[in-house]
Structure 1
Amino acid sequence: MRLPFFALILGLAGLIPFLTLGGWIFLAGLFSPLPHLTVILLAYGACILSFLGAVHWGLAMERPDIITVQGTADRDRQRLLLGVCPALWAWLSLCVGLLGGLRAGYLLEVIGFLATFAVERMAWKNGALPPGYMPLRGVLTVGAVISLLMAALAPLQNYTL
């Protein structure tokens, strides 16, 4: 089963801010600090990481029988947990990035994207995710991680606000 074409297009469109901001921060950042753009990219990364968790919360809640007399099934409990963890990690990344240094925030977001992908891959192998989901997630994760790393490696950025 493949994802709908519209979902594929919208997923790839979500990479546009990552690729443009990450690339611009790295290339233009060689010559001039871009503190506002770095904060915008950090915030966008946190939003998208939170959204990845929301996808799993939605998968768990789409079934009307999630809350039953017996309680939630193991798979649904895992989905609910995966729905919250990326959002909490994104919040931590944003806090560290804004209070401690943008470079540290970017690196925490990279860890969050990679860890979420790894857990999703295990869930996908166990049949908990739609078949067409992981190829798209792989491309999106690679794009986000590369962009965040490019921004983290920009030499002239003001990494404390």
Structure 2
Amino acid sequence: MKRLPFVAVVLALAGLLPFLLCACGIVFYASGVPIPNLMMAFVSYGAVSLAFFGAVHWGLALEPAPVIITSGADRLNLIRIALGVVPAFVGWVAACMAFAWAPVVGVAILAVAVPLLALVERQGWRMGALPSGYMGLRWIITAVTEACLLVVLMARLF
């Protein structure tokens, strides 16, 4: 597998800025700030992020077939395709729940989904199905994202 390009690492880390900015806005700004709108922006970006991580697996499943086909390649591609769709669906459910019920419910769904997806990806990484360096970057992104989600969740619930 190819290594991650440097620009991919930089852009992935820059992708954490909306989480950090929204979380800071939700937690630290005075009550005059329209928090529900900021919460919806936060949940919406979380849904987009989940869809993006799913798209990584969708893209890997659609890569041209290798010259040497190993056993289990079809099963791996089915898992990749499922991982390409399920995170986007969960993100959509989080956004719908945030809009239709309460934004904090969407945050809670994302707080469960983000680390769960990372744990599933770790299994794929152990099998050699992900590029080298991917999980290191993924754990950083997961840790920062999860910290933002949990801080916002605690700030809104307590």
User: What TM-score range do you get, normalising by the shorter chain?
Assistant: 0.7 to 0.9
**1:125 aligned onto 2:90:** no
Number of positions where the alignment pairs a residue of Structure 1 with one of Structure 2:
150
**1:13 aligned onto 2:14:** yes
For residues 24-35 of structure 1, what are the structure 2 equivalents within 5 Å? 24-28=25-29, 31-32=31-32, 34-35=35-36
Query: Which residue in the other structure is 1:3 paired with?
Result: 4
Q: Deviations over 1:32-83 (max 9, x none)?
A: 4512111111101100111110110001001258xxxxxx711101100111
How high is the TM-score relative to the length of structure 1?
0.86
How high is the sequence identity, in percent, across the aligned residues? 39
> How far apart are residue 155 of structure 1 and its match?
3.9
How high is the TM-score relative to the length of structure 2?
0.87
| Structure 2 unmatched ranges of 5 or more | 67-72
**1:83 aligned onto 2:84:** yes
| Structure 1 unmatched ranges of 5 or more | 66-71, 157-161
Secondary structure at 2:130's aligned position in 1? Answer: coil
> How far apart are residue 88 of structure 1 and its match?
0.8
Query: Which residue in the other structure is 1:159 paired with?
Result: none
Partners of 1:26 and 1:153 within 8 A in 2: no
Higher-RCO chain (CA-CA 8 Å, sequence separation at least 6): 1
Q: Deviations over 1:105-155 (max 9, x none)?
A: 101011111111010001100111011100000000111111122222224
Secondary structure at 2:99's aligned position in 1? Answer: helix
